[in-house]
Amino acid sequence: MICEEDTIQSSCSSLNDLSAASSLTDLGNPQPQPQIYNYDDLMIVRKLNKAKFPVFLTYSPMTNQYFAMKVFPYTNDKISPYFINEARFAALDNENVISTVHFELEREAMFEEEFSKISYTIMELAPYGDYFDVIMTHKIIFDDKMARTYFHQLIEGLEYIHASGVAHLDLKLENLLLGNNFILKIADFDQAHIKEQETVYTKGTVCYRAPELILSCCKNPEASDIYSAGIILFLFKSGGVLPHSEHQKFRGLDLFDLLNNNKGMFWEKHCEIQKKESSFFESDFKALFNAMVSSNPQERPTIAQIKSSKWYNKSIYSKEEVAIYMTHCLSEASKTQNH
């Protein structure tokens, strides 16, 4: 995580006790459904990641279903402010947003870890991992049609989130999950922002974050999400090559500076880096990406403008075609890794 815990703590100071935290969701949406999953009935199968807030694969004998459990250890016998923030968004309900089915404020940990008291959320399981694994680990290369298909799903989820008065502020490949039927799911809202909240505390993630987050002067959180979505669009197209390294030179090039001040040279150098013909980045793609990652938040397109752009409106795969495409790609990746 990039942001410091004390800054998140200050944004959630009114929710630091159990009585305040019992009404966490404040989005103008229905509250989460009544508790239907008992912690004591869940079996911990294995750890799915080694992040600051670990995620475990769990199984419910009661429902014969698997879930993901995200664990927030207590700090100095206090509820994690990141849990408090994320739990506020448990009522979000959209095909392209991960579903939270249950959360609890305080439990004794029932598995071998360095912490003993936790808060946690129970979420739908995304069986195919995250898009970092898909693109960077499994080396799956999307064709233009697939890149656009998944970009559509990202924008649909983002449109819903923004309409709910929420900005994610930490969009990146690791926070996009591949759910059932290979549907994109936006996850991890521990740094998200509610519209009514005046101050933006998070600094986002390096290489994905908008310039105003770097400078701690974000006034339009939704526009910051548009910037991060633009970075993800580039990664979908490039097969995992980041557009820039945020103020660090790559092969002697300051791509961040070129992106902001010399876009023609930026695209020329990326074709050299990726060993692509100049036609690989077609004009419609470049126009959309350039607009989304404008250094001026006011110049970035709205979601409606993104959805009316030329590149966005070219062909996409059906859900059935996506399933066939991704099943084949993951099967081939598995064969390669096993040899």
The active-site residue out of 170, 188, 190, 225 is 170
Asked if 186 and 171 count as a contact pair (C-beta separation under 8 A), the reply is: yes
Reported as type and span, the H/E element at residue 270 is: helix 263-273
State phi, psi for 163 to the nearest 5 degrees: -65, -25
Side chain identity at residue 179, one-letter code: G
Active site residue 170: yes
Nearest to 68 by CA among 105, 113, 37, 30: 37
* Cα–Cα distance list, 186 to 175, 208, 287, 289 (Å): 6, 15, 25, 20
- In the 3-class helix/strand/coil scheme, how is 86-120 assigned residue by residue? HHCCCCCCCCCECCEEEEEEEEECCCCCCCCEEEE
C-alpha–C-alpha distance, residues 148 and 150, integer Å: 6
Element (H, E) at 303: helix 303-307
Name the phi and psi angles at 121, rounded to 5. -120, 145
Q: Which sequence positions are flagged as catalytic?
A: 170
